[in-house]
Chains A and B, each alone.
Chain A
Amino acid sequence: MTTRKLATKAGKTLQVAVSLARGRVRSVSFSGDFYLYPEESIRELEKSLEGIRTGETEYEITTRLMIAARKAGTDMAGVTPHEMAKAVKKAIDDAEGGF
């Protein structure tokens, strides 16, 4: 499990924990002091990244999160899908040795 912390533009803290297996993302977990509702729908965002290739770009991850948020009717404040994707990408890079 690799974690990454990021300060969002709105002044909130976003932390992500990712675990990888055989070149793919096995699990993703977001935490922090942001707002996202319905709160339970954060699982839909996390699940949308399970199984993706670790080589996906920040842009591709952002798109996946945006689609998942739209499907789940998720709204957020203090954090954006792009910031979430950025943190995930950095955690993946850290887990793979950093580059």
Chain B
Amino acid sequence: MKWRIISRELHTGPTNMGIDEALAGMIAAEKSPPTLRFYAWNPPGVSIGYFQRLRDCVKTEKCNKMGMDYVRRMSGGGTTFHGAELAYSILAPGYMFPKYAEDAFMLLCRQAVTALASVKINAEYMPIDQIVCGEKRIGWNAVTYRGGAIIFQGSIFHDLDYESMAAATGSTPAKIREALTCAKELSSATMNDIEAALQNGFIGEKNARNGTLTRDELRKAEELSEKYAGREWNFLL
């Protein structure tokens, strides 16, 4: 099956979540091809895992003041910041990947680690869902399965705005510095270098072409983005 690769695009947080859900549905219905897409959030924002409570994890009033999005994801996992990062989603029929989340993490995070090594970033996979450099995370990953499709979401931080992250999550810049690092602190690799490396790491020799979202996919994504922008979804827990 031919993979589609979508180069880095900028969307709002709710639209990015809407795109992933729309593609997962259309891939499960065999209307869209397996897709690796790269993206970032504009404006920056915070996402929380499906089972997290927004009130516990995000300072929503501060985010509103700073013009940042906050969104509850369709995937589990933890809270993460979306700023100067290279985010990626792998959306494909479930049968193309391991059936269980732990196995999917192991496969895909290891591919990302190999990709990072090619741009001189020495990272390691730390089960179940982390990619670390030393003891600090350099990105985030989450996975879920929906209607026969796998949705693997993640990112590599390129640069980190410690102050905004702290304000948005009620932490301190020092605590975040202890836990996270970014490509800019470790290597001279540009966002484009990392995108090329990850594309190679995830897709490798598989049959692939560059592409964009279709009109039908965009229409469905826009519909779904309203859910991800709404209070009912984000404050459900």
Contacts and interface: CB of A to CB of B under 8 A. Distances in A.
A76 B102 CA distance: 9
A39 B74 contact: yes
A42 to B, nearest CB: 7
Contacts of B235: none
Contact of B127 (A10, A31, A33, A37): A10
B145 A37 contact: yes
Contacts of B128: 10-11, 35, 77-78
B5 to A, nearest CB: 26
B7 to A, nearest CB: 28
Nearest to B104: A77
A35 B77 contact: yes
B51 A36 contact: yes
A13 B142 CA distance: 15
B97 interface: no
A55 B79 CA distance: 35
Nearest to A39: B50
Give the most central of B101, B143, B144, B146: most A CB within 10 Å: B101
A75 interface: yes
Contacts of B101: 35, 37, 75-77
A66 B231 CA distance: 32
Given A10-B127, A77-B100, A77-B128, A35 B52 contact: no
Interface size class of A (residues with CB under 8 A): 10 to 19
A35 B144 contact: yes
Given A35-B77, A35-B143, A77-B128, A30 B100 contact: no
A23 interface: no
Interface in A39-78: 39, 42, 75-78
22 contacts: A10-B128, A31-B52, A32-B51, A33-B51, A33-B76, A33-B77, A33-B79, A35-B76, A35-B128, A35-B129, A35-B142, A35-B144, A37-B101, A39-B51, A39-B76, A39-B144, A75-B100, A77-B100, A77-B101, A77-B102, A77-B128, A78-B129
B21 to A, nearest CB: 12
Interface of B: 49-53, 56, 74-79, 99-102, 105, 127-129, 142-146, 237
Contacts of A31: 51-53, 56, 237
Interface of A: 10-12, 29-39, 42, 75-78
Contacts of B102: 77
Contacts of B145: 37-38
A39 B79 CA distance: 17
A30 B105 CA distance: 23
Given A31-B56, A35-B143, 10 more contacts: A10-B127, A31-B237, A33-B52, A35-B76, A35-B129, A35-B142, A39-B144, A77-B76, A77-B100, A78-B76
A65 to B, nearest CB: 15
A34 B51 CA distance: 7
Nearest to B99: A75
Contacts of A37: 76, 101, 144-146
